[in-house]
Amino acid sequence: MKNLQNVFLSFVFTIIVFGINFIVPSQINGFHENGFNLNFNNLINTSYAETIFNVRYDNPVFGRRPIILESQKFLNEYLNVPFQFSFNLLNFVLLFCLFLILSKCDFKTRKADPKILKFAFLFSIPILFAFFGSMCTYDDLGQYLFLLLFLIFLFKEKHLISIFFFVLACITRETSFIFYIVIIPFLLFEAKTNKAIKIISWVLPIILYLGFLTLYLSNEHINESKDFLLNNRFYAWQSNFRDWNRFRESTTLLFIMLFPYLFLLRRKFLKETSSEMKMWCKIASVLIIINAMIIVTSGLISEVRLLFIPLLFIIPFLQAELKEISIILLSNLNRNIPWKSLILSGLIAFLWYQPKTQGTGYFYKIYVFIFLLIVFESILYKSYDQIGINDQMK
């Protein structure tokens, strides 16, 4: 019964994401130009999808991330599936599987809480607005899925399977290598396998990834990738903060993607008595901070999906704290009007925050308002004992 409920909820949550992204101009409808989209034919075939596929297929950056592109090419050449439909089909399956396996994500916790994790992932801006213009999700859902599978098997010490999924994640997007911040301390301090297996688990993914690049990419692609890395990649910070509006956008997105989780990690650190759990709180904090520093200097902050990568580990790690917050908020819902949080959230969302997208920017503003309202209420609300929080958490 639980398995059936997990499948049903995963399907419903996937439909919600695709439904939101269907009605506005987005990648799943070829960026329909005439306001709200209600034409289901746009899910099947658009000129945009074929154009963007060809652009990405010949691009040196996407050239080293072939899984989604080669899957689309196969479906089109051998089954005559339109590029728009293949993009939607692949991402629907990946997102469904992503929600599905959250029930197994009990990283350093007693037991996974599938409902909390599903809602936490659904309400994350890179998932909820995955295919909006500034998000431009393409192969990210595949990366998220493979990284979650890697983490599941890593903490179960199924090393060969974990290496397989980690290499797949790195091939999907090379930003997956940030998870060496998790791999190294786990192998050094927790893994019970012998030293040889630990060294293999540490080194083999790098060897396999470099081997893949050597065999798959042409010399021309490799040289173009090097040129992009040297001449473009490390100048992204100029775009992130190039003017006053971009500064406001970048600082807002950094705040909502970093501060709540660092706050919860600090609270968990202070609450925990186990030195092991304190260590993992520190590792999680380092992971999210280093990733943010990399994105600020070499990625586009407006593509918030890049900031989401550490949260694949951190959200499951903090699921007990997220459940505690949900109980607090639901218990306090009818008690009073949160004027302080409403005013502060409104000022930031509707006056300070300036998304670079126009029409869909209103969706972002409403999201930021609701998200910040939850964050500020969680911080400002201190009387946990009044609602019997400890009893409800049992």
Q: Tell me, what's the pLDDT at 39?
A: 86
Residue 377: pLDDT band (50, 70, 90) is: confident
Tens-digit pLDDT profile for residues 124-140: 999 999 999 888 888 99
Q: Are 142 and 67 in contact (CB under 8 A)?
A: yes
Three state DSSP letters for 327-393: HHHHHCCCCCCCHHHHHHHHHHHHHHCCCCCCCCHHHHHHHHHHHHHHHHHHHHCCCHHHHCHHHHH
Q: Tell me, what's the pLDDT at 335?
A: 66
Tens-digit pLDDT profile for residues 93-106: 999 999 999 999 98
Residue 390: pLDDT band (50, 70, 90) is: very low
Rounded distance between C-alpha atoms, residue 220 and residue 201, angstroms: 31
Tell me the pTM. Answer: 0.92
- What are the sequence ranges of the domains in the chain? 2-393
